[in-house]
Amino acid sequence: MSSTVVTGIAELITCDGSTPDGLGIVADAAVVIEDGHVAWLGPASDAPMADHQVDVGGRAVLPGFVDSHSHLVFAGDRGDEFAARMAGTPYDGGGIGVSVDATRTATDDELRSLVAARVAEMRAQGTTTVEIKSGYGLTVEDEARALVIAGEFTSETTFLGAHVVPREYAGDRAAYLELVTGPMLAAAAPHSRWIDVFCEPYSTHAFTEHEARTVLLAGREAGLELRVHGNQLGHGPGVQLAVELEAASVDHCTYLSDADVDALAGAADTTVATLLPGVEFSTRSPYPDAAALLRAGVSIALATDCNPGTCYSSSMPFVIALAVREMGLTPAEAVLAATVGSAKSLRRSDIGRLVLGARADLTVLDAPSHVHLSYRAGVPIARALDLPVDEV
């Protein structure tokens, strides 16, 4: 096993919470990596010798972004739906059926290469961990194959059979619920870590509080951990349900009442509010006040929600820039939410921070400081660092 020392780091953003802004910045730093993990970090002048050296040339380095919410397994295109929305047509989840049709007819290899391209796009923008949901198959076979393909790219796989009620079950929601919580869950569970549900009374396509609770409890019974799509289209029950069931994350949180904020603050150790500002951008929805959530004591995360309907962007830097510009976060708070915050939403402590023993997922910024992620919005300054690989 060989070691690598990364040098030339003008600003090492550890996200270890050791400084008042939480970023734990070490100036003029080095990191030593062994077996894919951080074996040493500190001032470059103290760095030990290693077998390989990678010099990042005076750039900033931070933990790779953790994109804790994505729907990468889909085929087809909904650019027309986006254009119509920009002209005033509201989003109601109905377009999901278009992606379901295209995904069902795609071959395994087509889906696999679409996911590979999207994961590569993410890595090229600094993301080193991605959660991937199913939800565009909505048959037993199509959901299982989506999760098998997702599992080729990440261990953070999420069964989202309860994305919408598919067209063929529109007249019999109860029968679809039985399918999702029965044979579909049985086929999906071996390939999933998580279960998720689109809990949204403002869309006839999505699931009511009662239906969502049934889905989540069945998932838990099958050994899966819980996540929820909640409060996206209006003041729905998703947040309260997620807190009640101790879900790891409730995602969107676009419309929050004071009671929702109180519930999230009381559950800050258990349930993270994952904010998806790319969705507000792409659906012309109001941005939630992330700064107010932090002041209230809520644990927050940032993710892309990369999907063909509400946000076809794979860019965590774009999300960070939106969170700073539109949701009131400081550049430091946004970076923390996109790294250690989203790691917490996946109940992971080995990613999202650069500390001894953590996974050596390093992202390099073509910039001297993390502020540039939002200051230079739209400029491709972030990339995951490729490290030398041992010959075998």
From the annotation, which residues make up the binding site for Zn(2+)? Answer: 69, 71, 229, 305
Residue 137 touches which of Fe ion, ligand NIG, none (Cβ within 5-8 Å per kind)? none
Q: Is 160 within 8 Å of 197 (Cβ atoms)?
A: yes
Give the other-Cβ count within 10 Å of 215's Cβ. Answer: 26
Q: How far is the CB of 353 from Fe ion (least distance, A)?
A: 25
DSSP 121-144: HHHTTTEEEE-EE--S--SHHHHH
Q: According to the binding rule CB under 6 A, does residue 118 interact with ligand NIG? A: no
Nearer to Fe ion, 189 or 276 (CB): 276
Pairing of strands 382-384, 362-365: antiparallel
Query: 128, 232, 240, 345: which one contacts ligand NIG (CB under 6 A)?
Result: 232
How many of the other CB atoms lie within 10 Å of CB of 43? 12
Strand-pair category, 194-199 with 225-230 = parallel
Residue 279's binding partner, choosing from Fe ion, ligand NIG, none, with beta-carbon cut-off 5 to 8 A by kind?
ligand NIG
Residues within the annotated binding site for N-formimidoyl-L-glutamate?
Answer: 136, 307, 309
Residue 99 binds ligand NIG (CB under 6 A): yes
Q: Which residues of 276-299 are buried (b: 16+ CB within 10 A; e: fewer)?
A: bbbbbbbbebebbbbeebbebebb
Residue 240 binding partner per list ligand NIG, Fe ion, none, with a CB distance cut-off of 5 to 8 Å that depends on partner kind: none
As beta bridge partners, residue 162 has 197
Residue of this chain nearest to ligand NIG (CB atom): 309
Q: Three-state DSSP class for 174? A: helix
Q: Mark the binding-site residues, compressed into ranges.
A: 69, 71, 78, 136, 163, 229, 232, 305, 307, 309-310
Backbone angle region of 65, left / alpha / beta, with phi > 0 → left and psi within -120 to 50 → alpha: beta
* Nearest CB to Fe ion, comparing residues 91 and 153: 91
82 contact, one of Fe ion, ligand NIG, none, CB 5-8 Å limit per kind: none
Where residue 253 falls (left for φ over 0; alpha for ψ -120 to 50; beta otherwise) is left
**How far is Cα of residue 23 from the mean position of the Cα atoms in its chain?**
20
Report the residue number, 308 or 317, with the smaller CB distance to Fe ion.
Answer: 308
Sequence-distant (6+) residues with CB within 8 A of 238 are: 199, 200, 209, 212, 228, 229, 230, 231, 232, 250, 252
| Shortest Cβ 140–Fe ion spacing (Å) | 22
Our CB check for ligand NIG shows the closer of 199 and 267 to be 199
Residue 303 CB, shortest distance to Fe ion, in Å, is 9
Known binding-site residue numbers for 4-imidazolone-5-propanoate: 78, 136, 163, 232, 310
Nearer to ligand NIG, 54 or 242 (CB): 242
- Interface map 201-230 toward ligand NIG (x if CB under 6 A): ----------------------------x-
Minimum distance, C-beta of residue 385 to Fe ion, in the bound complex (Å): 28
- Minimum CB separation of residue 136 from ligand NIG in Å reads 7
Binding-site string for ligand NIG from residue 274 to residue 313, where x marks contact by CB under 6 A and - marks none:
-----x-------------------------x-xxxx---
Cβ pair 66, 346 in contact under 8 A:
yes
232 binds, among ligand NIG, Fe ion, none (CB under 5 to 8 A by kind): ligand NIG
Beta strands 249-252; 194-199: pairing state: unpaired
DSSP letter for each residue of 45-99: GGPPP-SEEEEEEEEEEEEPEEE--B-----S--HHHHHHHHTTPPP-STTHHHH
The interface partner of residue 339, options being Fe ion, ligand NIG, none and the CB cut-off 5 to 8 Å by kind, is: none
Q: Based on CB atoms, which residue is closest to ligand NIG, 99 or 299?
A: 99
Smaller CB separation from ligand NIG, 55 or 77: 77
CB atoms within 10 A of CB 83: 10
**Residue ranges of E strands in 262-317:** 272-275, 300-302
Q: Which stretch binds ligand NIG (CB under 6 A): 93-101, 139-147, 209-217, 265-273?
A: 93-101
Contact footprint for ligand NIG (CB under 6 A): 93, 95-96, 99, 198, 229, 232, 279, 305, 307-310
